[in-house]
Amino acid sequence: MKRKRNLYQIEEDRPTGREELCRYFPYFNSNSSQFVCLFIGRIFRRPVLGKAMVVAVRASPLVFLPSSPFAASRNLKKQCNTIINFNIGLQSSHSKPSCITISSIKCSASSTSTIISKEEEPLPLEVNEIKTMCKTWVWRGYNINYLSYQARNNNTSRPSLLLVHGFGASVAHWRKNIAILAQDYAVYAIDLLGFGASDKPEGFAYNMETWAQLILDFVNETIQRPTVLVGNSVGSLACVIAAADPSQTSIQGLVLLNCAGGMNNKAIVDDWRIKLLLPLLWLVDFLLNQKPIASAIFNRVKQRENLKNILLSVYGNKESVDEDLVDIIRTPADAEGALDAFVSIVTGPPGPNPVQLIPKVTLPILVLWGDQDPFTPIDGPVGRYFSSLPSQKPNVSLFLLEGVGHCPHDDRPDLVHEKLLPWLNHLPVTENVVT
């Protein structure tokens, strides 16, 4: 006989551990991170919910080691579909990927130049290629890792693109997108402070506003041209904060991929599920501020078996979770300062909410949303807000991507490019230099 289902009990014939938590608590709306849900019981190999405290921990500031530029010589090769994914979303195994248009974009014949046939698609960049391409920009005394990939046709009338990763990711998270976008645009990608190969300063208090200012300064000092910001998860939110700055004149548009509601879960307080879990989140904050406990959890998550299981739980395409992916994520998590950054981000202030910021932005906005996202579900508070925007703001277009998780650009890059390239092609012609 099955027990009555509620938040604290589970049916006895249902799976336990990581998959169970993802099923019962899919609305954390963490979004500042690739939110990894674990049980303390699971960590110590005791399978139960209701007999053990539920702990929501995020993956460490996982970093993809950057790499080098050989992809330019392979621009006309067929795209490889088995490259590593870092899809932060739980995709239904039975659903067929497709794209549902909520707010359509009218494409004229002039946009056909941005449509790339499969035979002409450049291969995704490899991690070692990206590492060779990356450079260092010094910001406020900190080393910031970034990539610059110039457009093949050197069309200076088009804006530059700045790709901003989400929690736990880095420049390499965009490896499936950079080469394709660079056929018509100058593409930049950056590791935010605390992530990737950028510095992770000891004792630094991470917050959304700092990342937004870093983005604005990078555009003004390094790119020095009108720029479209393309962000995922917490990177999207940082881009929104930057674009909402009344003093900025360099941002020409926003592309938001499953935008976060805040740097951590405490940002979403208008959902009964989060209200119910707030005491637990406060307890998690307390525990993570005890360094021995935080270190034990962090080290357990980084173990190869646990990390691979976590990745399998959030990937739609399980074949993408290979040993290379595990190594890519594990290695940077061992960097000095990674634990401190993880704790600071998880326990820090959530920062501004997109609901407060979007009304201040009059720039063109493209929103792409994976409908299988367990962290910012389309029917959660943040997803519902963005779903309502096309009918309220003429500058916003939104597409729901069916069968796609939290990181659409890596989960189904083909669907993202199908919507992104025509939208970019319809942006106004830009001036050559930011004034």
- Annotate 404-429 with DSSP letters as a single string: --S-HHHH-HHHHHHHHHHHHHTSPP
Residues 14-19: what's their mean pLDDT? 40
Provide the token pair at 428.
Answer: 């106004």
More confident residue, 229 or 32: 229
Q: Is the pLDDT of residue 134 over 50?
A: yes
Q: Structure pTM?
A: 0.74
Would 288 be classed as within a structural domain? yes
3-state secondary structure of 153: coil
Task: Check: CB of residue 177 under 8 Å from CB of residue 407.
Answer: no
- The DSSP line for 260-321 is -SSSSGGG--SSHHHHHHHHHHHHHHHHHTSHHHHHHHHHHHHSHHHHHHHHHHH-SSGGG-
Segment 370-416, tens digit of pLDDT: 988 888 889 988 999 999 999 999 999 999 998 888 888 988 899 99
Of 93-102, 135-144, 318-327, the least confident: 93-102
Under the banding of pLDDT at 50, 70 and 90, the label for residue 266 is: low
**What is the torsion angle, in degrees rounded to the nearest 10, for the CA atoms of residue 412, residue 149, residue 117 and residue 94?**
-10
User: By C-alpha distance, which of 37, 89, 65, 19 is closest to 401?
Assistant: 89
Would 374 be classed as within a structural domain? yes
Would 150 be classed as within a structural domain? yes
Would 106 be classed as within a structural domain? no
Of 195-199, 266-270, 309-313, the least confident: 266-270
**Cα-flanking dihedrals φ and ψ of residue 217, to 5°?**
-65, -35
CA distance 345 to 211: 12
Number of domains in the chain: 1
Segment 187-241, tens digit of pLDDT: 999 999 999 999 999 999 999 999 999 999 999 999 999 999 999 999 999 999 9
- Whichever domain contains 409, its CATH number is 3.40.50.1820
What per-residue confidence (pLDDT) applies to 152?
A: 75
CB burial of residue 335 (10 Å; 0-12, 13-18, 19+)? middle
CA distance 147 to 191: 9
Residue 342 CB: number of other CB atoms within 10 A? 28
Q: Is the pLDDT of residue 158 over 80?
A: yes
What per-residue confidence (pLDDT) applies to 273?
A: 60
| Residue with the two structure tokens 């490896």 | 175
Residues 124-145: what's their mean pLDDT? 94
Q: Which domain holds residue 416?
A: 127-426
Would 291 be classed as within a structural domain? yes
Residues 129-143: what's their mean pLDDT? 96
Provide the token pair at 236.
Answer: 């999207």
**What is the torsion angle, in degrees rounded to the nearest 10, for the CA atoms of residue 376, residue 382, residue 386 and residue 388?**
120
Would 319 be classed as within a structural domain? yes
Would 103 be classed as within a structural domain? no
Under the banding of pLDDT at 50, 70 and 90, the label for residue 26 is: very low
Residues 117-134: what's their mean pLDDT? 84
Q: What one-character DSSP code corresponds to residue 390? A: G
What's the length of the chain? 435
82 CB-side CA count, 13 A: 4
User: By C-alpha distance, which of 239, 233, 235, 236 is closest to 251?
Assistant: 239
Residues 350-357: what's their mean pLDDT? 92
Would 54 be classed as within a structural domain? no
**No. of H helices and E strands in the chain?**
15, 11
What per-residue confidence (pLDDT) applies to 322?
A: 73
Under the banding of pLDDT at 50, 70 and 90, the label for residue 435 is: low
Cβ partners under 8 Å of residue 140, min gap 6: none
Of 154-158, 232-236, 296-300, 370-374, the least confident: 154-158
